[in-house]
Protein backbone atom coordinates (compact mmCIF):
# COMPACT_ATOMS: atom_id res chain seq x y z
CA UNK A 1 0.00 0.00 0.00
CA UNK A 2 1.37 3.43 -1.00
CA UNK A 3 0.68 6.03 1.69
CA UNK A 4 -0.17 9.49 0.35
CA UNK A 5 -0.28 13.06 1.60
CA UNK A 6 -2.42 15.49 -0.43
CA UNK A 7 -1.85 19.24 -0.07
CA UNK A 8 -4.03 21.81 -1.87
CA UNK A 9 -5.61 24.98 -0.49
CA UNK A 10 -8.76 24.40 -2.59
CA UNK A 11 -10.84 22.05 -0.43
CA UNK A 12 -13.13 20.90 -3.24
CA UNK A 13 -10.22 19.91 -5.51
CA UNK A 14 -8.34 18.21 -2.68
CA UNK A 15 -11.44 16.26 -1.64
CA UNK A 16 -12.14 15.18 -5.22
CA UNK A 17 -8.56 14.02 -5.76
CA UNK A 18 -8.61 12.13 -2.45
CA UNK A 19 -11.85 10.38 -3.48
CA UNK A 20 -10.43 9.44 -6.89
CA UNK A 21 -7.20 8.07 -5.44
CA UNK A 22 -9.06 6.17 -2.71
CA UNK A 23 -10.68 4.09 -5.46
CA UNK A 24 -7.25 2.59 -6.26
CA UNK A 25 -6.57 -0.67 -4.40
CA UNK A 26 -2.91 0.13 -3.72
CA UNK A 27 -3.20 3.81 -2.66
CA UNK A 28 -4.12 5.13 0.78
CA UNK A 29 -4.56 8.87 1.46
CA UNK A 30 -3.29 9.06 5.06
CA UNK A 31 -3.26 12.87 5.42
CA UNK A 32 -4.52 16.07 3.81
CA UNK A 33 -3.41 19.68 4.18
CA UNK A 34 -4.63 23.12 3.06
CA UNK A 35 -1.28 24.98 3.28
CA UNK A 36 2.42 24.35 2.86
CA UNK A 37 3.08 24.62 6.60
CA UNK A 38 0.26 22.17 7.37
CA UNK A 39 1.58 19.79 4.70
CA UNK A 40 4.98 19.73 6.37
CA UNK A 41 3.42 19.12 9.79
CA UNK A 42 1.23 16.29 8.41
CA UNK A 43 4.21 14.72 6.63
CA UNK A 44 6.20 14.71 9.86
CA UNK A 45 3.28 13.12 11.70
CA UNK A 46 2.18 10.51 9.12
CA UNK A 47 5.44 9.86 7.19
CA UNK A 48 3.82 9.25 3.78
CA UNK A 49 5.52 7.48 0.88
CA UNK A 50 4.46 10.15 -1.63
CA UNK A 51 3.41 13.79 -1.13
CA UNK A 52 1.18 15.27 -3.85
CA UNK A 53 1.63 19.05 -3.47
CA UNK A 54 -0.08 22.00 -5.09
CA UNK A 55 2.53 24.44 -6.40
CA UNK A 56 0.88 27.57 -5.01
CA UNK A 57 -0.42 27.38 -1.45
CA UNK A 58 -0.59 29.77 1.50
CA UNK A 59 2.65 29.86 3.49
CA UNK A 60 5.28 27.58 2.00
CA UNK A 61 4.73 26.78 -1.67
CA UNK A 62 4.87 23.20 -2.95
CA UNK A 63 8.53 23.48 -3.98
CA UNK A 64 9.58 24.75 -0.54
CA UNK A 65 7.68 21.84 1.07
CA UNK A 66 9.41 19.39 -1.30
CA UNK A 67 12.82 20.82 -0.35
CA UNK A 68 12.03 20.38 3.34
CA UNK A 69 10.77 16.82 2.78
CA UNK A 70 13.95 15.92 0.90
CA UNK A 71 15.97 17.00 3.94
CA UNK A 72 13.73 15.59 6.67
CA UNK A 73 11.99 12.60 5.05
CA UNK A 74 14.17 11.55 2.10
CA UNK A 75 12.09 8.38 1.55
CA UNK A 76 9.02 10.51 0.75
CA UNK A 77 8.81 11.30 -2.99
CA UNK A 78 7.24 14.64 -3.96
CA UNK A 79 4.90 15.31 -6.87
CA UNK A 80 3.92 18.88 -7.81
CA UNK A 81 0.54 19.54 -9.45
CA UNK A 82 -0.15 22.99 -10.78
CA UNK A 83 -2.44 25.15 -12.86
CA UNK A 84 0.55 27.51 -13.38
CA UNK A 85 3.15 25.37 -15.14
CA UNK A 86 5.70 28.03 -16.00
CA UNK A 87 9.20 27.01 -17.14
CA UNK A 88 11.00 28.52 -14.14
CA UNK A 89 8.74 26.61 -11.75
CA UNK A 90 9.64 23.29 -13.35
CA UNK A 91 13.37 24.00 -13.13
CA UNK A 92 13.07 25.08 -9.48
CA UNK A 93 11.03 21.95 -8.70
CA UNK A 94 13.56 19.59 -10.28
CA UNK A 95 16.40 21.37 -8.45
CA UNK A 96 14.45 20.80 -5.20
CA UNK A 97 14.32 17.04 -5.79
CA UNK A 98 10.69 16.86 -6.97
CA UNK A 99 10.10 13.54 -8.77
CA UNK A 100 6.87 14.43 -10.57
CA UNK A 101 5.57 17.67 -12.13
CA UNK A 102 2.21 17.79 -13.89
CA UNK A 103 -0.74 20.05 -14.66
CA UNK A 104 -4.01 19.83 -12.72
CA UNK A 105 -5.72 18.90 -15.97
CA UNK A 106 -4.57 15.25 -15.77
CA UNK A 107 -7.09 12.55 -14.93
CA UNK A 108 -7.25 10.75 -11.58
CA UNK A 109 -6.01 7.55 -13.26
CA UNK A 110 -2.96 9.33 -14.72
CA UNK A 111 -2.17 10.86 -11.32
CA UNK A 112 -2.44 7.41 -9.70
CA UNK A 113 -0.05 5.98 -12.31
CA UNK A 114 2.44 8.83 -11.72
CA UNK A 115 2.28 8.22 -7.96
CA UNK A 116 3.25 4.59 -8.62
CA UNK A 117 6.09 5.67 -10.94
CA UNK A 118 7.68 8.06 -8.42
CA UNK A 119 7.13 5.63 -5.54
CA UNK A 120 9.07 3.06 -7.57
CA UNK A 121 12.00 5.47 -7.92
CA UNK A 122 11.10 6.90 -11.33
CA UNK A 123 10.36 10.44 -12.48
CA UNK A 124 7.54 11.99 -14.47
CA UNK A 125 7.47 15.45 -16.04
CA UNK A 126 4.54 16.50 -18.22
CA UNK A 127 5.95 16.53 -21.80
CA UNK A 128 4.35 19.87 -22.72
CA UNK A 129 5.72 21.61 -19.61
CA UNK A 130 9.14 20.07 -20.25
CA UNK A 131 9.17 21.38 -23.84
CA UNK A 132 8.21 24.89 -22.67
CA UNK A 133 10.95 24.86 -20.03
CA UNK A 134 13.59 23.85 -22.58
CA UNK A 135 12.53 26.53 -25.09
CA UNK A 136 12.35 29.28 -22.42
CA UNK A 137 15.98 28.89 -21.38
CA UNK A 138 17.47 29.71 -17.99
CA UNK A 139 16.72 32.81 -15.97
CA UNK A 140 19.14 35.65 -16.71
CA UNK A 141 18.73 36.90 -13.12
CA UNK A 142 21.12 36.13 -10.30
CA UNK A 143 19.43 34.69 -7.16
CA UNK A 144 19.86 38.06 -5.38
CA UNK A 145 18.36 40.01 -8.31
CA UNK A 146 15.40 37.62 -8.34
CA UNK A 147 14.91 38.03 -4.58
CA UNK A 148 14.97 41.82 -4.77
CA UNK A 149 12.66 41.87 -7.80
CA UNK A 150 10.20 39.62 -5.99
CA UNK A 151 10.24 41.97 -2.97
CA UNK A 152 9.54 44.87 -5.37
CA UNK A 153 6.53 43.09 -6.87
CA UNK A 154 3.81 45.01 -5.05
CA UNK A 155 5.29 48.48 -5.59
CA UNK A 156 7.09 48.38 -2.24
CA UNK A 157 9.35 51.45 -1.65
CA UNK A 158 13.11 50.96 -2.07
CA UNK A 159 13.71 51.62 1.65
CA UNK A 160 11.31 48.84 2.66
CA UNK A 161 12.90 46.39 0.22
CA UNK A 162 16.33 47.33 1.59
CA UNK A 163 15.14 46.67 5.15
CA UNK A 164 13.57 43.31 4.28
CA UNK A 165 16.59 42.16 2.26
CA UNK A 166 19.16 43.54 4.74
CA UNK A 167 20.73 45.64 1.99
CA UNK A 168 21.42 49.34 1.53
CA UNK A 169 18.93 51.30 -0.63
CA UNK A 170 21.72 51.94 -3.16
CA UNK A 171 22.42 48.21 -3.50
CA UNK A 172 18.69 47.52 -3.97
CA UNK A 173 18.56 50.15 -6.75
CA UNK A 174 21.57 48.51 -8.42
CA UNK A 175 19.98 45.04 -8.31
CA UNK A 176 16.66 46.37 -9.66
CA UNK A 177 18.41 48.32 -12.41
CA UNK A 178 20.39 45.23 -13.41
CA UNK A 179 17.24 43.05 -13.44
CA UNK A 180 15.32 45.61 -15.56
CA UNK A 181 18.22 45.76 -18.06
CA UNK A 182 18.65 41.97 -18.29
CA UNK A 183 14.94 41.46 -18.91
CA UNK A 184 14.74 44.27 -21.46
CA UNK A 185 11.97 45.91 -19.44
CA UNK A 186 10.98 49.58 -19.34
CA UNK A 187 10.78 49.65 -15.53
CA UNK A 188 10.76 47.42 -12.46
CA UNK A 189 6.99 46.79 -12.69
CA UNK A 190 7.37 45.43 -16.22
CA UNK A 191 10.43 43.44 -15.10
CA UNK A 192 8.34 41.82 -12.33
CA UNK A 193 5.63 40.96 -14.86
CA UNK A 194 8.13 39.39 -17.29
CA UNK A 195 9.95 37.44 -14.56
CA UNK A 196 6.65 36.10 -13.19
CA UNK A 197 5.42 35.11 -16.64
CA UNK A 198 8.50 32.88 -17.02
CA UNK A 199 8.32 31.54 -13.47
CA UNK A 200 11.69 33.11 -12.60
CA UNK A 201 10.27 34.69 -9.43
33 and 96 housed in the same domain: yes
Same domain, 116 and 175: no
Return the pLDDT at 73.
96
| Angstrom distances, CA of residue 1 to CA of 6, 112, 125, 134, 200 | 16, 12, 23, 36, 37
Which of 72, 70, 71, 73 has the alpha carbon at shortest distance from 97? 70
Q: What average pLDDT does this structure show over 126-144?
A: 78
CA atoms of 101 and 60, how far apart (whole Å): 17
187 pLDDT higher than 80: yes
Please tell me which residue, 134 or 16, carries the higher pLDDT value.
16
Asked whether residue 127 falls in the same domain as residue 165, the answer is no
What is the tally of structural domains in the chain? Answer: 2
* 126 and 153 part of one domain: no
Predicted confidence at residue 87, as pLDDT, reads 67
pLDDT attached to residue 177: 92
**Residue 135, pLDDT above cutoff 70:** no
Specify the pLDDT at position 165.
87
Across the chain, what does the average pLDDT equal?
Answer: 90
Measured CA to CA, the distance from residue 98 to residue 193 in angstroms comes to 26
Q: Residues of 129-159 as b/e, b for ≥16 C-beta within 10 angstroms? A: beebbeebeebbbeeebbbbbbbbbeeeebe
Confidence of residue 12 (pLDDT cuts 50, 70, 90): very high
Q: Within this chain, do residues 48 and 103 fall inside the same structural domain, yes or no?
A: yes
Question: What is the pLDDT averaged over residues 183-189?
Answer: 89
Average pLDDT over residues 47-72: 94
Range of the domain at 72: 2-136
Q: Are residues 132 and 155 in the same domain?
A: no
Amino acid sequence: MIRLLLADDENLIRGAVAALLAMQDDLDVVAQAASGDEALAMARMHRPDVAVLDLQMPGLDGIAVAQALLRELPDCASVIVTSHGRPGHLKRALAAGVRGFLPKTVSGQVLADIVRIVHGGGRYVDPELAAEAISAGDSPLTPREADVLELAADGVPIEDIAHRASLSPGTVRNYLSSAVTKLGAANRHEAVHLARAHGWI
